[in-house]
Amino acid sequence: MEKIYLFVGFLMGFIVFNLDSIIVEAAELNVEKIKHLESLGFTEEEISDMPEMEIMKNLEIDGQVVALMENRMKVARKFS
Question: Is 66 inside any structural domain?
Answer: no
The answer as to whether 7 is a domain residue is yes
**CA distances (Å), origin 15, targets 8, 28, 29, 30, 51:** 10, 20, 20, 21, 25
The answer as to whether 75 is a domain residue is no
Contact call for residues 12 and 4 (beta carbons, < 8 A):
no
Question: What is the full per-residue pLDDT of the chain (80 aa) written as tens digits?
Answer: 666 665 655 555 555 444 444 333 433 678 888 888 888 888 888 888 888 888 888 888 887 777 777 778 888 887 76
Residue 70 is assigned to a structural domain of this protein: no
Residue 20 lies in a domain: yes
Q: Counting beta carbons within 10 angstroms of the beta carbon of residue 40, is it exposed (0 to 12), middle (13 to 18) or buried (19 or more)?
A: middle
Quick check: is 15 in a domain?
yes
Tell me the residue range of the domain where 7 lies: 2-59
Whether residue 73 is contained in a domain is answered as: no
Residue 24 in any domain: the answer is yes
Q: How many domains does the chain have?
A: 1
Task: Give the pTM.
Answer: 0.47
